[in-house]
Amino acid sequence: MGEKLQFTELDQYLFGQGTHYDVYRKLGAHPVKQGKKEGVYFAVWAPNAQAVSVIGEFNDWNEQAAPMKKAGPIGVFETFVPGAKIGQLYKFFIVGMNGEHIYKADPYANEAELRPGTASRITDIGDYKWKDTTWMKNRQKFDETKDAMAIYEVHPGSWMKHPATEENEKGFFNYRELAVKLAQYVKDMGYTHVELMGIAEHPFDGSWGYQVTGYYAPTSRYGTPQDFKYLVDYLHRQKIGVILDWVPAHFPKDAHGLANFDGTAVYEHADPRQGEHPDWGTKIYNYGRPEVKNFLIANALFWIEECHVDGLRVDAVASMLYLDYGKNDGQWVANKYGGNQNLEAIEFFKHLNTVVLGRNHGTVMIAEESTAWPKVTGKAEDDGLGFSLKWNMGWMNDFLEYMKYDPYFRSHHYKELTFSMLYAYSEDFILVFSHDEVVHGKGSMAGKMPGMSLEDKFANLRTAYGFMMGHPGKKLLFMGQDFGQLDEWNENVQLEWELLDYPIHGRMKEYVKELNHLYRSYPALYKKDYQPDGFEWVNCMDSANNIVSFIRKTDKKEETLLFICNFAPVLHEKYIMGVPFEGKYKEIFNSDAVKFGGSGKGNPRMKTSREEDSDGRKHAITVQVPPMSICIFSCTPEKAVKPVQKKAAARNTGKRSAKNTDKSHN
């Protein structure tokens, strides 16, 4: 052992308080120099262990070669191993409270052995030279409530693949290859961010990364931690934000993982009614234990501060908030007030979000929360959970149910189309068509749409995507759905890129591309997503025709946009609709355009409003509403020219001319 403890009394105090926010720089494996000797410093928290040693390729996995010393009463063990090198595999050998022999991967490891191997790997995460200074500086000014967010959700292992080889049996792209290909696609398509699934190390491919064993290690399936940093760095240099899925709700029972880490319940609750998900077969974190909270909060900060990630989408928040989530009577324990709210998880979220967002302006914390829990995006000081944004699962479920009906029957389900606006401002929402909707027999987005032909299905899908873009809230679309993938997502094969050889899919891709670029070009589509005065119904009562119309606004009248959405395959040649003010209305986007695969119906000429009561408004226009379509109009208000006085043409009249009251029409 080295001369003095590296996990100091201050480290122990902060860790014991749950506030050692960069504890990952101390725990784990870190190449260092002690005196003249180069080697690796190892530290692990195993509070109830009798003894701990580090075993690995540097000592032939000898359980006696590198015993670790306990650093104070908190239960951290540490040692310095001279000669240990970057790239070598290791584990911790733990003698448990009852003398059992346990072999564990390092919870704080920054790299892991490629599955099915389960060892940790020594690495140096501090040697990457970042080149995204401009992005990181500009990020501090980003405001998710007022800026555009069109997120492309990606599973890296199945987005695009190489042919399988003996060395790469799944054909995975390396992080660096993925960076270039993904950035090119995302930039061209007009997305602002990518959200990456399954980056933290996990043993089972089929879990998609939602059962994590290596919280501080980018999965070795796609390369090294340095390769992962390159991916983030490269995307940033292409002006693309990076969000990661993050899973603090539960962890698997794999023998090398966190479960019963030192022979006792260290990270989880000891009582299975509190510490296990019966449906998922996983362990639940003990959010009341300071060192466990510290492990998770420091992990969130690791991804954001060490890896420059721009936000985390927190998975399965509802399962953390409710003690009885997925459980029957007798399978859970009530809180001290007799309720089913997990008070420790609530406090954890407030702590987590306050620290992460307080230290990293311009980043986002996103909740995947499927219930009506209040104030998920409310401020912690106002008894909210403190998240930046929340997935709008209610809108997704209602709207997709509406879209699944044959248009003939949609009029009977009209409220499923309009209901979301009754609660649209209760949280700061993201509208999502996520991976959850295209797996487990749910089919693809195109497959959900009604219609006898593919053309009918794609017309429905174009209308759905257009309505989503007009509805308040940030946007998320899962990979493959932007070109109308036909099969539901399968993580074992790449997307059906070959479909782009068929015009109907190429046109759908171009449609989503133009929709994304339109979204980013018009502030009315994102600037007031979370302010009620940014949206206004024109008509949400025309259930007989399956038509809705609405306005998106900013504080500038000339930035107003008018939407009319027709969810029936019926052409309306002269549809009268109210408009927000007197002015001129120009169709700037039409999902029924021939280039998108539509019939080409629409409004090529600018419309001038007339005084006529319609939809409760004083002015109206008559438009052609294409079948199964969304049309968007820019709105230019009439501008009165200030009256000017004319001087008399003849001096001998001595009178002023009348004021010019003509109006200038723009």
CA-based diameter of the chain, in Å?
A: 118
H/E stretch holding 41? strand 37-45
Angle in degrees, 0-180, between the axes of helices 454-470 and 503-521, rounded to the nearest 10: 10
Q: Is 315 helix (H, G, I), strand (E, B) or coil?
A: coil
Integer Cα distance of 137 and 261 in angstroms: 40
What's the token pair of residue 407? Answer: 């248009």
Cβ(516)–Cβ(525) under 8 Å? no
315 is catalytic: yes
The Cα 442–Cα 459 span in angstroms is 20
- Identify residue 393 by its one-letter amino acid code: M
3-state secondary structure of 369: coil
Hey, is 649 helix, strand or coil?
coil
Q: SS3 of 228, please? A: helix
Q: Find where tokens 């060490």 sit.
A: 306
Q: Which of 106, 195, 268, 368 is catalytic?
A: 368
End-to-end CA distance of the chain: 82
Q: Strand 561-566 vs strand 120-121: parallel, antiparallel, or unpaired?
A: unpaired
In 515-546, which positions are buried (b, 16+ CB within 10 angstroms) versus exposed (e)?
bbebbbebbbbbbbbbeeebbeebbbebbebb
Return all residues near 340 (Cβ < 8 A) that are at least 6 apart.
322, 323, 324, 332, 334
The answer to whether the beta carbons of residues 613 and 621 sit under 8 Å apart is no
Torsion of CA 447, 451, 456, 460, to 10 degrees: -60
From the list 132, 291, 315, 592, the catalytic residue is 315
Q: Are 6 and 41 in contact (CB under 8 A)?
A: yes
Q: Is 611 a catalytic site residue? A: no
- Label the pairing between strands 214-218 and 561-566: unpaired
Q: In the 3-class helix/strand/coil scheme, how is 184-221 assigned residue by residue? A: HHHHHHCCCEEEECCCEECCCHHHCCCCCCEEEEECHH
The vertex-421 CA angle with 418 and 427, nearest 5°, equals 145
Nearest-angstrom CA–CA distance, 605 and 608: 10
Q: d(Cα 632, Cα 642) in Å, to the nearest integer?
A: 31
CB 489 within 8 A of CB 478: yes
Count the helix, strand and coil residues of the chain and give each as a percent rounded to the nearest 5: 30, 25, 45
DSSP count for the chain of H helices, then E strands: 15, 29
Laid out side by side, the sheet with 76-82 consists of 28-34, 37-45, 76-82, 69-70
Residues 603, 188, 491, CA angle at the centre, nearest 5°?
A: 110
In eight-state DSSP terms, residue 168 is: S
> And the tokens for 575?
């549809």
Active site residues: 315, 368
